[in-house]
Structure 1
Amino acid sequence: MSRGISIGVVGGGAAAVCLIDALARSTGEPGRLTVFEPSPHLWRGRAYQVDTEILRVNSTPDDMSVRAGDPGHFARWLKARDRITGIAQGVDRLSGARFPPRTVYGEYLEQSAHEALRGLRRDGWRVDIIGGAVTAADRLSGHVLLHTRRGRARAFDYVVLNVGGDGPKDMYGLSGAPGFIADPYPVAGKLRDIDDHDEVAVIGSGLTAVDVVLALAAQGHRGRISLLSRRGVLPGVRQRPASFSLRHLVPERVAELALSGDGVSIESLATVLRAEFRDAGADLDTVVHDMLRVDLEEPVDRLRRQIDEVDSPNMGLRILQRAVPETGPDIWPLLREEQKVRLLRAHYRTIMSMCCPMPPSSASVLLDLVRSDQLEMFSGLQDITPAADAGFDVIAADGTRFHADRVVNAVNASEGRIPRDAQPLVTSLIRTRAASRHPHGGVQLARATSRLTRNGRPDPRLYGLGNIAAGALFFTFGIPSLVDRSQDIVAAIREHAGTVGHARGGAEAAA
């Protein structure tokens, strides 16, 4: 058995695949890798589980590669799959871009994980996959002890927490009410029992809500569908891809700002942003105007306008969609607290709607349903309650009241909210002061290494990846972000291991 380092990975979704791929391509002494994943969606996570092929990824293949430095990895895999199936799925009829089914992307994640694990085993790693939940952790001298629900404890030199995102929150206390669907995934199973003529109310207006509407339309639903939310902000519509590179909104420029006398401020960032837009011949004021009028523009009008702008030559929106995930995690930790609070309160949902857009063909289906009077959108949702006889009573802000036969909960989970199943684990770390909650979600960690911080100091043995880092890094859930952070984590582990040595290869004990 290898006598190198031991790494425990808590969570086996897409983030774990990015991490394992990075580890398989790193150099250094082999060791022991253990992945804990209690769900049946190993490597796929909640987002890419087996489901209807109607649901698409919302990014093009070059933004979905799990391999650092190889943006064509997923595209090549797709081409190989196309040759076998004889079908190129997910080509958008409006933009010509490709948005493959999410269930197909899940296949890619599975195969990428298996390939990386085979490589690790060839290099001498011992690999274990444990289908159980980690319920607690102890930070001991020189290692981290993970406890599972079955009462066993395993010690590791390094632990990476990538516990994923949470499901929809029941905002109106409808759990258990007949006709209420608390979590719509997988839609192929959860929506199957909805009668074709039922009037369906969908709580939410984000990407999950869009999924529900698309799935209902695909299964031939003929009853009225109502999208209900507090703000009525739909995801933006992705424009036709264009090739470009950021020149000013890059980590190096942000580092220069941080070292300057004035530091990083909203004003200094605006100067850099204007330079980026100027060099691309883009109009920053147009993008800012769109952000500020989100709550003033009717959702349907905004949807129609953005579909018309799919082929827009203005690069502004494309620049924003590239800069937020690529440079956002570098900028966010450097902002003052009052600036973070102002951005989160005033613009977070708007920025996410613009930077996590839906494919144009999905937007087109929504607009067709609106034109046929089958789909209606309501903002300012006030309340939903079970009706006295059956179904639900809905009250909107303008006083509109109507009845719904079924209610589907499609509220996007708050980024950085610790998933319910991971709460005991995170609570145990916080209780023993091995970790601390971030005021904006998730836990505190260091930007450069993704190490959890203890009393403000990075812990070289504990790491966070994905949504658990949302409060600290702002944007953490896109595949490119997961790939970048995985590289940071593997490099940090390798560097630390090289300085302290791990001849015993981790400890293991029965608790």
Structure 2
Amino acid sequence: MSRSAGGTVATRRRARLLRTMDIGIVGAGAAAVCLLDALSQADSPVGRVTVFDPVARPWRGRPYATDVPAARVNAVPREMSIRHGDPDHFARWLRQSGHLVAPDPWTGTPFVARAVYGDYLADSAAAAIARLRERGWQVALERTVVTAAVLADERVVLRTAKGRHHAADYTVLCVGVGRPHDSYALRGRPGFVADPYPLARSLPAIHPEAHVAVLGSGLTAVDTVLGLTAQGHQGPISLVSRHGVLPAVRQRPVDVELRHFTPERLRAWARRGDPVPLARLVDLMRRELADGGHDEPRLAEEIFDLGRQGPVDRLRRQLTEVDDPDLGLRVLQRAVPETGPDVWPLLSAADRTHILTHHYRALMSLCCPMPPSTAVTLLALADAGQLRVRSGLHGVRQRAGGGFTLATAHEDLSCDTLVNAVSPPAHRIPVQARALVASLVAAGAAAAHPHGGLAVERATSRLTVEGRPSTRLHALGDLAAGSLFFTFGIPSLVDRGADITQAMITHAELADRASPRVLALR
């Protein structure tokens, strides 16, 4: 390199160091870790990051706190990496940290304990913060709740529960998914467990002979069953929900290459902004399956005929298909998470409502499957008569003498203890974030999305009001689920975190070029 060229590069680098960014992150869970890691890897100006969360042990989020070993993540390590563009990041951490996880005998891949994954999140956050500080960033964790926010003088002013104010250039809402909804107003009643996580705290108080009913049949409910089994529970266990749909059984991982239903193709459609009929997407998926020689009718049956088998029979069948040579289901499991945030905004309101009403449960069951070893445990309990799965739930009442009665479409079910493992409410705004979100909506800085959470822009996850995006406010995670559909898995958090990081950097650089300024760290 010539002296003049080197001088030019050095001058550019010094110029970059004169610019600053002040970023506020509300929430210190997995989404915040993905965002911090993306920021620490980006070629960005220096600045300040302030993370707000009152939790005693940040970065783990509700699902990945220290807990019983029986509670495991449902995805393989390559799908749990927080590093954008580096799917082996988590696997390397497992080796380097000495966590020797036995592979699942059915798939040959490890499914780590949720607490171990929480350790990975905490270590990754610490490493990202260290990298940022080495580059000159100031990073702080404020252990308090953000109760309100307003836009003022091109900045976001955050107010905390401690009465302090913090002005940021950019704010990212990483508020998580919230706790199970108390649909029957039972919180505080004897025998009612309002939230099973952490299992190590909620389950030991349950009598080993008690009949335990679990509200819900998703992954949280399955974790509850595993936790009870691990502590030697002898009494009956009933999973009770409206639909009785269990997570599907994960098949042996196979590297699937998408040829037609690709993120690149669908993002190109999204950039053009043209509406895409659902029928066009169905045709595209049919081409994908046909070109790969996959069995389209079998996959269609899984999606459209969810109730054709009872939940235990479906579980048993899917366990026999772990090594299925047909890759149709694996194609779906890759395509939906990768393309959902780009495709969803292109669908008409009628098509989105149709999917949510008729196919959402099937898609979530198929795309968020349980490890085969978990299915083996559930089947053993069912075959022994200890576990039952019931659908048609429409009411719960507390009995005068203690315990609860659950009314279903088929029978009334009595239990001694009731564990609440239902999904968060449809609006996807956790209790601790409601005041903050309400303040943004009241100020005209955010808008509720009709399918839940807040309206956001597809490409940048910026909050939008009547289609106009804010350049200062972003949402990462389930708060954006109404706009982007599949937002809660780690791969989605990683992709959206990288998009948000780039959007903030690009806006800061454009703003500086339009109005040059030199700032000291505030």
TM-score (norm 1): 0.95
1:449 and 2:449 aligned? no
Distance in 2, matches of 1:352 and 1:260, equals 28
Deviation (angstroms), 1:395:
2.1
Deviation (angstroms), 1:472:
0.5
Deviation (angstroms), 1:415:
5.8
Counterpart of 2:160 in structure 1 is 148
Q: Could you tell which deviates more after superposition, 110-119 or 253-262?
A: 253-262
Contact kept? 1:2, 1:31, Cα under 8 Å: no
For 2:472, give the aligned amino acid.
R
Distance in 1, matches of 2:272 and 2:92, equals 43
For 1:454, give the aligned amino acid.
V
Deviation (angstroms), 1:96:
1.4
Counterpart of 1:47 in structure 2 is 63
Instruction: Mark the CA change 1:322 to 1:257 in structure 2 (over 3 Å): closer, same or farther.
Output: same
Quick one: which of 275, 294, 310 aligns to 2:322?
Answer: 310
Distance in 2, matches of 1:337 and 1:396, equals 32
1:107 and 2:95 aligned? no
1:33 and 2:45 aligned? no
Counterpart of 2:131 in structure 1 is 119
For residues 168-179 of structure 1, the aligned pairs below 5 Å read 168-179=180-191
Quick one: which of 122, 133, 145 aligns to 1:133?
Answer: 145
For 2:305, give the aligned amino acid.
R
Contact kept? 2:273, 2:346, Cα under 8 Å: no
Cα deviation digits, residues 455-487 of structure 1 (max 9, x gap)? 321111111100110000000011111111011
Distance in 2, matches of 1:69 and 1:173, equals 44
Counterpart of 2:13 in structure 1 is none
For residues 232-311 of structure 1, the aligned pairs below 5 Å read 232-255=244-267, 257=269, 263-311=275-323
Counterpart of 1:6 in structure 2 is 22
Instruction: Mark the CA change 1:13 to 1:202 in structure 2 (over 3 Å): closer, same or farther.
Output: same
Deviation (angstroms), 1:80:
1.6
Quick one: which of 473, 477, 485 aligns to 2:484?
Answer: 473
Cα deviation digits, residues 194-229 of structure 1 (max 9, x gap)? 111011111110001000101101100000111101
1:390 and 2:402 aligned? yes
Q: Could you tell which deviates more after superposition, 419-428 or 171-180?
A: 171-180
Quick one: which of 387, 390, 396 aligns to 1:375?
Answer: 387
Cα deviation digits, residues 237-257 of structure 1 (max 9, x gap)? 100000122221123322455
Instruction: Mark the CA change 1:256 to 1:460 in structure 2 (over 3 Å): closer, same or farther.
Output: closer
Quick one: which of 433, 439, 442 aligns to 1:422?
Answer: 433
Greater length-normalized contact order (CA 8 Å, ≥ 6 residues apart): 1
Indicate the SS of the match to 1:53: coil
Distance in 1, matches of 2:520 and 2:142, equals 17
Contact kept? 1:58, 1:359, Cα under 8 Å: yes
Corresponding residue pairs, total: 503
Deviation (angstroms), 1:141:
2.2
Cα deviation digits, residues 154-204 of structure 1 (max 9, x gap)? 101110111000111111221121110010010011000111101111111
Distance in 2, matches of 1:457 and 1:248, equals 31
Deviation (angstroms), 1:348:
0.8
Distance in 1, matches of 2:475 and 2:347, equals 21
Instruction: Mark the CA change 1:390 to 1:258 in structure 2 (over 3 Å): closer, same or farther.
Output: closer
- Quick one: percent identity of the two aligned structures? 50
Deviation (angstroms), 1:81:
2.4
Unaligned runs of 5+ in 2: 1-16
TM-score (norm 2): 0.93
For 2:265, give the aligned amino acid.
R
Cα deviation digits, residues 230-286 of structure 1 (max 9, x gap)? 110000110000012222112332245568998411111112111211222211221
Cα deviation digits, residues 287-322 of structure 1 (max 9, x gap)? 111122212311111010011111111101111111
